[in-house]
Each structure stands twice: as structure tokens, then as C-alpha cells.
């Protein structure tokens, strides 16, 4: 079987391999094997490595984006991003299917479009980038590739609507609704960080940070709920800025 042309894929990845054979190995399905070889001739080892680096980088990003979430909530958020279906879609977006190196039987049975094969190849490509280009390159690629999903991942799966939950909690004892105010916006336009505060009856309950104003408001609501759930939690006495 002729090796696929990987130039276009490398353009999509934003990096060009020093050892292109490593990228070809990432695309080699376990159904394709070469007899008499001592070393594995498929992508499972690279998939293992890619899975680990993907989990690390996304855990890092989630901890930065949601400082108020606990370990269990962060784990659920990460699971949303890296489930088999989501990774298969990423493999399709990179058009990995036509590049997969498969056995004839696997190809005849639809292996190029199989979600598991695409998801595994996507993770294997991440592993190949790490080995060939280093940590910073693969981290930058993952950040770019998941930027929209991270931006839109506004809440923890365990608490689907923190702002609504906070309003319901407060209105059980008061008719006043919580109000959100932007405190600050920092950084370049393409990489801003926002801080918002939530107020109730003129008193600040909590603050939160995020990469969009909406995420910052969500983080503030989560922090306020955490404080209100603690026994005898004092409300901050700050007044909203003029």
C-alpha cells in the first residue's frame, strides 16, 4: 500500500514534521500489520500518548477557565470534550478518513468512516505531534482546535444553569433578582479575560473570571452558590461601582 500524501494534513495541523513517518504511523490502523517486524506497526502506542496529552492540556484549560469548579465537575466537563463521538468529529474535520492506512478487509467494511478509527487516529496524531514537535506545539494545537468548545462550555454538567439556580435560591427569601456587573476586561482582543461580580440588594455576593463576559458571570454565580451553601457564609459588603 502506497503511503498517503500528508502535506495537506500538516498544513491543517499548522506544523510540518521532521519525521513524516511518525505521522504516517499515527494514521496506521491496527488492522494493517507487517509480518516479521519486532516493533508495532500501528497507531495504538501513539493513541495512548495522545490521549494522555489531550487530557492534560484540557484539564489545564478547564482549571484556568472555571476556577470555582470542584474536581468532579471538572472531570465531567472534560468528558464532554473528549468523548468518542466528539473526537471522531475532530478526526473528520481534519479529513483523516481518506488518509488512514487500513487492511483491505477493514476498508471494505467501512473502516475509513468508523468513529472509533477516526477518534483513535486523532489522538494518535496528537501523540505524533508531541514526539516530533514537542509539548508547546501540541498544546497550542489543542488550544486552537478546542477554542470554540471551551468558549461555549459555560457550565458544569452537574449544574446546568448556575445563574438560574442562584436566582431561584435568592428569590426564595427576596423578590430582588441578582444583578451582574463587569468589573474589568484585560488582555488583547483575541485573548481577553473578564471579571464580573454578582450583586443582590446592593451587596456583592461573589466575583468570577472567564474568557468571555458570559463565562465570568457564570463563574460568579457558581462562587456565590458555593458561599451561600456554606454555613453562616458572610456576604461581602462591597457596593456596586458607580
Q: Tens digit of pLDDT per residue, the chain (242 long)?
A: 556 789 999 999 999 999 999 999 999 998 886 544 555 588 999 999 999 999 999 999 998 887 767 777 788 788 889 988 999 999 999 999 999 998 888 888 988 999 999 999 999 999 999 999 999 999 999 999 999 888 777 544 445 678 888 888 888 788 899 999 999 999 887 778 999 999 999 999 999 998 889 889 988 998 888 887 663 444 444 444 54
Cα–Cα distances (Å) from 128 to 39, 46, 100, 139, in that order, read 16, 6, 15, 13
Q: What is the pLDDT of residues 27-62, one digit of tens each?
A: 999 888 654 455 558 899 999 999 999 999 999 999
- Assess whether 231 carries a catalytic annotation: no
| Rounded Cα distance, 49 and 26, in Å | 11
The residues near 236 (Cβ < 8 Å, ≥ 6 apart) are: 203, 204, 205, 206
Active site residue: 47, 51, 132, 154, which one?
Answer: 51
Domain boundaries, the chain: 7-152, 162-229
**Pick the catalytic residue: 61, 106, 120, 123?**
123
Whole-structure pTM over 0.75, yes or no?
Answer: no
- CATH T-level assignment (fold) for domain 162-229: Double Stranded RNA Binding Domain (3.30.160)
CATH number for the segment(s) 7-152: 1.10.1520.10
51 is known as an active-site residue: yes
How far is it, in rounded angstroms, from Cα 69 to Cα 61?
12
Residue 204 three-state SS: strand
Amino acid at each position: 500500500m502506497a503511503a498517503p500524501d500528508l502535506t495537506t494534513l500538516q498544513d491543517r495541523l499548522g506544523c510540518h514534521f521532521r519525521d513524516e513517518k511518525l505521522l504516517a504511523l499515527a494514521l496506521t490502523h491496527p488492522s494493517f500489520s507487517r509480518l516479521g517486524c519486532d516493533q508495532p506497526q500501528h497507531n495504538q502506542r501513539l493513541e495512548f500518548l495522545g490521549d494522555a496529552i489531550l487530557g492534560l492540556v484540557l484539564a489545564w484549560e478547564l482549571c484556568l477557565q472555571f476556577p470555582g469548579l470542584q474536581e468532579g465537575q471538572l472531570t465531567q466537563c472534560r468528558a464532554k470534550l473528549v468523548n468518542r463521538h466528539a473526537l471522531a468529529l475532530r478526526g473528520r474535520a481534519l479529513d483523516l478518513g481518506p488518509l488512514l492506512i487500513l487492511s483491505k478487509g477493514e476498508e471494505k467494511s467501512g473502516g475509513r468512516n468508523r468513529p472509533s478509527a477516526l477518534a483513535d487516529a486523532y489522538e494518535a496524531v496528537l501523540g505524533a505531534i508531541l514526539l516530533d514537535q514537542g509539548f508547546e506545539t501540541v498544546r497550542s494545537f489543542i488550544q486552537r482546535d478546542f477554542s470554540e468548545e471551551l468558549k461555549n462550555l459555560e457550565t458544569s454538567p452537574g449544574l446546568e444553569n448556575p445563574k438560574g439556580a442562584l436566582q431561584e435560591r435568592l428569590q426564595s427569601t427576596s423578590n430582588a433578582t441578582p444583578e451582574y456587573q463587569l468589573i474589568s476586561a484585560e488582555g488583547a482582543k483575541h485573548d481577553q479575560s473578564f471579571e464580573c461580580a454578582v450583586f443582590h440588594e446592593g451587596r456583592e455576593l461573589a466575583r468570577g473570571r472567564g474568557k468571555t463576559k458570559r463565562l465570568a458571570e457564570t463563574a460568579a454565580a457558581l462562587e456565590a452558590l458555593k458561599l451561600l451553601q456554606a454555613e453562616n457564609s458572610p456576604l461581602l459588603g462591597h457596593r456596586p461601582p458607580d
